[in-house]
Amino acid sequence: MRMEVYFFLKSDIGNMEVKKVEFEHKSVLLKETVDSLNVHPGGIYVDGTLGGGGHAYEVCKRLKGQGRLIGIDQDDEAIKAASKRLEEFGDMVTVVRSNYVSIEEILKDLGVERVNGIMLDLGVSSHQLDTLNRGFSYKADAPLDMRMDVRNELTARDIVNTYDEMELYRIIRDYGEDRFAKNIAKHIIRERQKKPINTTNELTEIIKAAIPAKVRMNGGHPAKRTFQAIRIELNKELEVLDDSIDKMIDLLADKGRLSIITFHSLEDRIVKNRFKNNENPCTCPADFPVCVCGKKTKGKVITRKPIIPKEEELEDNSRAKSSKLRVFERAV
């Protein structure tokens, strides 16, 4: 586990070497998410996907100088931007450069046993998409990178140039949900036999050639689903989410809440099912008069239907369009 911890004391703020970073990211479902945590002064809250610190800032304001905010992110640029944004809250804030899948170890190292709330804002940030040299976007030419943590050695270029045809087909089909996955995989294999595929533009042109012109004219950008699939595979996004939810719920204090914002059906399905299983973990047959498996509920799902953005937010931030918020409350 890679982990870097930053403690920001008020006396140190003037000497902090946090470079000015233009980290533009509009926090999605900001009020709804922070409201869902039921923040109270003196509580301990974790933002597992700190980003630019938008959600964390609102939580800190509601703590009214009492309590603690622990922010986790694997992106160095996010760490710098959020640290600058949250510096006014001084030693209430601890920022850790790591992946939220390591939350148990992070909290243990910080001497924290239970927390009152955890939030996740999943997917790629606006800043990552708009920083073209990161290679997340199909809208501009850049090296094929897509790493959320640049300390990792594997890049999108490695996936595109080394995965075999069946592996490419699988991730584009499963993570991109693209009906042309098989043809896209074939085209990638064929083109990389001529020369390595190094840039986003090169990959985009290959994808376009694999999709019928009529579909390209009427649908969204033809490369969107494949880029999403490669990014998810590279950063192990679904595996990390699936491996984290149960342990996050276990780390909550009584009435503590876990609030998760998702951006596509694969993420939302994992969150919905994990929440449901934690609310009702019983594996006994439905016709059993009493439970004999011994598995007890860990709490309740607060959001029977996900919370989605209001029209005003969608008008102001188009990237909020597919977002959904689900909330679970712990009962100890």
Q: Are strands 4-7 and 299-301 parallel, antiparallel or unpaired?
A: unpaired
pLDDT band for position 39 (cuts 50, 70, 90): very high
Confidence check: pLDDT of 155 > 50: yes
Question: pLDDT, tens digit, for every residue of 140-151?
Answer: 999 999 999 999
pLDDT band for position 89 (cuts 50, 70, 90): very high
Which residues does residue 96 pair with via DSSP β-bridges, in sequence order? 5, 72
Question: pLDDT, tens digit, for every residue of 290-318?
Answer: 888 888 999 999 999 999 999 999 999 88
pLDDT band for position 114 (cuts 50, 70, 90): very high
pLDDT number for residue 2: 66
Pure H helices in 110-196: 126-130, 156-162, 165-174, 181-192
Please state which of the ranges 11-20, 53-62, 127-136, 214-223 shows the lowest mean pLDDT: 11-20
The C-alpha angle 129, 131, 137, rounded to 5 degrees, equals 40
pLDDT number for residue 216: 84
Distance (Å, whole) CA 138 – CA 280: 42
- Under DSSP, the state recorded for 26 is P
pLDDT number for residue 192: 98
171: how many CB neighbours lie within 10 A of its CB?
20
Q: Supply the mean pLDDT for the chain.
A: 92
Confidence check: pLDDT of 235 > 80: yes
Q: Which of 172, 149, 124, 166 shows the shortest CA–CA distance to 322?
A: 124
pLDDT number for residue 15: 45
Confidence check: pLDDT of 25 > 90: no
pLDDT number for residue 215: 85
- Dihedral of CA atoms 61, 26, 324, 306 in degrees, nearest 10, equals 40
pLDDT number for residue 319: 84
> Can you list the domains of the chain with their CATH numbers?
4-127+237-330 (3.40.50.150), 137-235 (1.10.150.170)
Confidence check: pLDDT of 10 > 60: no
Distance (Å, whole) CA 298 – CA 330: 6
